[in-house]
Amino acid sequence: MKKNTRSAAKKNPVQKEPVSSKGKSVLWAGRLSEKPEAQAFAFQSSINIDKRLVFDDIAGSKAHAAMLGKQGIIPKDSASKIVKELDRIAVEIKSGATLTIDTSSEDIHSFLEAILTERLGDAGKMVHAGRSRNDQVAVDFRLYLKRKVPRLQAELSAATIVLLDIAQLHVTSIMPGYTHLQRAQPVTLGFHLTAWCAALERDFSRFNSALARLDECPLGSGALAGSTLPLDRKATAQNLGFSRPTLNAMDAVADRDFVLELSSVCAITMTHLSRFCEDIVLWASEEFKFIDLAESWSTGSSIMPQKKNPDFAELIRGKSARTVGNLVTLFTLLKGLPYAYNKDLQEDKESLFDSIDTLSVCLRMFAGMMKSAGFNLKRMKASCSGGFLEATDTAEYLVRKGMPFRAAHETAALIVRDCIEAGQKHIADRTIGELKNKSKLFEEDIYKAITPAACVKARDLPGGPAPKEVRRQIKTLRKKLQAR
Ligand code: ARG
């Protein structure tokens, strides 16, 4: 008997204070008799990533503790001690002088609970009643995004406003519009930039709808199946500024749709910026020479003395790749996960944080680069001449005079061929006699109808490039960006 007892005791030595490999208290060590292996503990620790959630974790714990006190689950004075101490901890961490986050802890949740317990003793040990780190991390992440995404939207809206302001100045600045990167029809710089802004405004509203969907509080969902304690879920949801508690506890701890959605909106917005930057890189080339990037927003070459490179546009285009990669990471992370919580989910934060950071800095860089850029309006206008960009307008001229469109298209195409054969660069280089030879419908007014400015002005349908219409589009977008 004695022998047996001794060997059992040796196998399961009772540790009074469960500790991590570094001697820190861990939340779950009661079950395990052995200290975690140092490397293994470090491997599964997430504090270097989730320390960003520190103030959200504090907010969540304050709401939870206050509710526990109100519901009589823990003594009222313990609840208020916890709330006060959490406030103090927040101040100390903000100051950085009195308390720093100990990155040898397992995660931000463990770190804060350990500090509370160290300072409050038993009261600190009460805070986790009716809670799991599974609903805790879900609430923290949502709170973080509720704070952070509106700031990202402000940067998005600031970048859009920079573009709208430039667009407004250039509603009559003629430039070629392209399809297949071939000159297609005359448009204006204002119209082109407003096209970009329409895309960015949709991204802005995508953030709004993602925020609206994540506006539910997971607290009270516990590990996966709620709690036997009489938690007041509505109270914590309300206290934290959520519209309502989540519907189903298992869903609440397993769900990372909100991460996918926001990662996707970041990737979509970055894809937009990337396409704009591709235009800019082209426009900055000697071949186009439409844009003159500020020297302070350009770089040189270490070997070629003449170079002025659009590195910032290129890098924004390049960085869009990582946001797409992050989205794929998240989909891959989630697709095979059984319900409910799995430690895999810990990988979700790094990806989304990176996408948010990337988008944030790229929006600021993009706005700065655009604000300081100059445009070569002469060159843009000249590029509208010589490529027969007025051919569609010529066909539509004939349609207005009664010709079926297919016949008008063919007539205009034949005129273009005649011009090319004769070494002429514009349809207007043909005499009225030559034009009438192709169709009796041509009259002198054709020459006025097909100048680049006339082509643009006549395209005044809603959505078109006519200056008046683009001014209306700009106004609409400005209004939409204000209405949040
Ligand atoms: N660090 C963890 C995460 O980010 C917190 C949740 C841990 N939950 C657990 N059951 N181990 O997901």
Sequential pLDDT tens for the chain (484 residues): 334 444 443 444 444 444 454 555 677 667 777 777 888 888 999 999 999 999 999 999 999 999 999 999 999 999 999 999 999 999 999 998 889 999 999 999 999 999 999 999 999 999 999 999 999 999 999 999 999 999 999 999 999 999 999 999 999 999 999 999 999 999 999 999 999 999 999 999 999 999 999 999 999 999 999 999 999 999 999 999 999 999 999 999 999 999 999 999 999 999 999 999 999 999 999 999 999 987 787 787 777 778 778 889 999 999 999 999 999 999 999 999 999 999 999 999 999 999 999 999 999 999 999 999 999 999 999 999 889 999 999 999 999 999 999 999 999 999 999 999 999 999 999 999 999 999 999 999 999 999 999 999 999 999 999 999 999 999 999 999 987 6
Q: What are the angstrom distances between the C-alpha of 2 and each of 7, 8, 10, 11?
A: 9, 10, 12, 14
In the block, residue with structure tokens 């701890």: 253
The answer to whether the beta carbons of residues 143 and 137 sit under 8 Å apart is: no
pTM of the model: 0.91
Q: How many CB atoms neighbour CB 409 within 10 A?
A: 18
Ligand 1 center to 368 CA (angstroms) = 39
46 lines ligand 1 (CB under 6 A): yes
Active site residue 128: no
Q: Report which DSSP code applies to 309.
A: B
Query: For residue 354, which of 211, 205, 148, 94 has the smallest C-alpha distance?
Result: 148
The CATH homologous superfamily for domain 47-128 is Fumarase/aspartase (N-terminal domain) (1.10.275.10)
Q: How many Å lie between the centroid of ligand 1 and the Cα of residue 209?
A: 27
Please give the sequence-ordered ranges of beta strands (E in DSSP) within 371-457, or none if there are none. 374-375
Q: Is 178 helix (H, G, I), strand (E, B) or coil?
A: strand
How far is 53 from 62, CA to CA, in rounded Å?
A: 14
Ligand 1 pocket mutation, candidates 134, 350, 352, criterion most atoms within 8 A of CB = 134
Residue 301's pLDDT is 75
Question: Quick check: CB of 107 below 6 Å from ligand 1?
Answer: yes
Is residue 446 within 8 Å of 180, Cβ to Cβ? no
Q: Which residues contact 147 (CB under 8 A, 6 or more apart)?
A: 56
Q: Is the CB of 270 under 6 A from ligand 1?
A: no
Contact by Cβ (8 Å): 416, 388: yes
Cα of 137 vs centre of ligand 1, distance in Å, is 7
The SS3 call for residue 177 is strand
Indicate if 180 belongs to the active site.
Answer: yes
Looking at ligand 1, which residue's alpha carbon is closest to its atom 11? 343
Pull the structure tokens for residue 145: 């995004």
Ligand 1 contacts CB of residue 333 (under 6 A):
no
> How far apart are the C-alpha atoms of 148 and 265, rounded to whole Å?
14
DSSP state of 299: B
- pLDDT at 5 (0 to 100): 41
* Per-residue confidence (pLDDT) for residue 2, from 0 to 100: 39
369 three-state secondary structure: helix
Q: Is the CB of 348 under 6 A from ligand 1?
A: no
> One of 301, 302, 372, 439 is an active-site residue; which one?
301
- Within 126-228, residue ranges assigned H as helices are 133-169, 189-213
Q: How far is the CA of 341 from the centre of ligand 1 (A)?
A: 8
Question: What's the CA-to-centroid distance between 79 and ligand 1, angstroms?
Answer: 24
> In this structure, which residue's CA is closest to atom 3 in ligand 1?
346
**Would you call 183 helix, strand, or coil by DSSP?**
strand
From 20, 32, 46, give the residue whose CB has the most ligand 1 atoms within 8 Å, as the site to mutate: 46
Is the domain spanning 391-468 CATH 1.10.40.30? The answer is: yes
Q: Which helix (H) or strand (E) holds 216?
A: strand 216-217
The encoded tokens of residue 280 equal 């800019």
Q: Is the CB of 346 under 6 A from ligand 1?
A: yes
| Torsion angle in degrees (nearest 10) through CA of 446, 449, 452, 458 | -150
- Give 135 Cα–ligand 1 centroid separation in angstroms: 9
The domain limits of the chain are 47-128, 133-380, 391-468
Which of 78, 80, 180, 227 is catalytic? The answer is 180
- Cα(66) to ligand 1 centroid in Å equals 23
**What does the pLDDT read at residue 484?**
61
Closest atom of ligand 1 to CA, residue 106: 1
Which pLDDT does position 368 carry in this prediction?
95
25 SS3 class: strand
- 3-state class (DSSP) for residue 204: helix
Residue with the two structure tokens 């399961």? 12
CA dist 466 and 407 (Å) reads 26
Specify the CATH number for 133-380; select among 1.10.10.10, 3.40.630.30, 1.20.200.10, 1.20.120.10: 1.20.200.10
Tell me if 466 CB under 6 Å of ligand 1: no
The pLDDT assigned to 296 comes to 82
Q: For the purposes of burial, counting CB atoms within 10 Å of the CB of 304, is it exposed (0-12), middle (13-18) or buried (19 or more)?
A: exposed
